[in-house]
Amino acid sequence: MDMSVINSYIPLYRDALLLTLRIGWQGVFWAFIIGLGCTLIRQLRIPVLRGVVTVYVELLRNTPLLVQLFFLYFALPKIGIRISAEVCGSLGLGLLGGAYMAETFRSGLDNIAPVQEESALSLGMSRYQTLRYVIFPQAASASMAGILANVIFLLKETSVFSVISLMDLMFTAKDLIGMYAKTIECLTLLVMFYLIMLLPVSLLGTVLERRLRFAEFGN
């Protein structure tokens, strides 16, 4: 392995990492917002919108991100909606992630005993107050492992961004290999940079999970 090659590539990878992180976290942010929105709609049993949520979740969960990105990037301009590659990336990730988050939140909610809701209602709380103060905090801690898995999954999925010519980590590595054929160096750097991006997330998740343990059911 040629260390001088590695050293000269590091700045390129660093820029790619920053771009990947920026778009990735924007995507994760939108995934949370969309997932929460879907969950509220489902829990408050809002008619019509519930149906929309179901269609959305199934559509996004059952098609590859690659296809979704193609659709956003190449098909939308045909009907006059033109968005930049970067917006396209974070939007695509957010839409996909929203569907996954909605399902993860749902499984967290399913773990909450019905008597929790009933005792909140019996104290005169509205459905919204019950969700906000009693159900969601418990569901959040029950879903923590799933949420963390989603975040890591979404950040890894950024690797398909290269197809819409975003200069993310994957794009940079493929580009450099294509130009200079330093395959080993390029791939080693690629793995290292993905680890730099994702290991802290895993660690943070472990800490969060431990912190949220208090919400466990104790009998």
Partner 1 sequence: MENEVLRIEHLHKEFEGNVILKDLNLTVRRGEVIVVIGPSGCGKSTFLRCINALEDIQGGQILLDGHPVRRDAKDVTQMRQKIGMVFQSYDLFPHKTILHNITLAPEKVQKRPRAEAEKEAMELLERVGLADRAGDYPRQLSGGQKQRVAIVRALCMHPEILLLDEITAALDPEMVHEVLEVVVSLARLGSTMLIVTHEMAFARAIADRVLFLDGGEIVEESSDPKAFFTKPQTPRAQAFLKTFDYE
Q: For binding to partner 1 (CB under 8 A), which residues are involved?
A: 113, 115-116, 118-126, 129, 133-134, 137-138, 141, 214-219
User: Can you read off the two tokens belonging to residue 151?
Assistant: 């975040």
> Amino acid identity, residue 26?
Q
> Nearest approach, Cβ of 53 to partner 1 (angstroms)?
24
Comparison of 82 and 211: residue with beta carbon closer to partner 1: 211
Q: Where are the beta strands (DSSP E) in 118-192?
A: none
CA distance to 98, 112, 156, 170, per residue, from 29 (Å): 9, 25, 15, 22
Comparison of 26 and 129: residue with beta carbon closer to partner 1: 129
Comparison of 7 and 119: residue with beta carbon closer to partner 1: 119
User: Can you read off the two tokens belonging to residue 209?
Assistant: 């999970």
Other Cβ atoms within 10 Å of 166 Cβ, number: 23
User: Can you read off the two tokens belonging to residue 149?
Assistant: 């898995």
Comparison of 119 and 165: residue with beta carbon closer to partner 1: 119
> Nearest approach, Cβ of 204 to partner 1 (angstroms)?
20
User: Can you read off the two tokens belonging to residue 77?
Assistant: 């301009």
Comparison of 174 and 210: residue with beta carbon closer to partner 1: 210
DSSP state of 132: I
Are 157 and 194 in contact by the 8 Å Cβ rule? The answer is: no
> Nearest approach, Cβ of 212 to partner 1 (angstroms)?
9
Q: Which residues contact 40 (CB under 8 A, 6 or more apart)?
A: 131
User: Can you read off the two tokens belonging to residue 89?
Assistant: 């990336």
> Nearest approach, Cβ of 116 to partner 1 (angstroms)?
7
Comparison of 134 and 173: residue with beta carbon closer to partner 1: 134
- Which string of b and e fits 56-86 if b means at least 16 CB within 10 Å? bbeebeeeebeebbbebbeeeeeeeeeeebe
> Nearest approach, Cβ of 47 to partner 1 (angstroms)?
15
> Nearest approach, Cβ of 132 to partner 1 (angstroms)?
9
Give the dihedral sign, CA 32/35/36/37.
Answer: positive
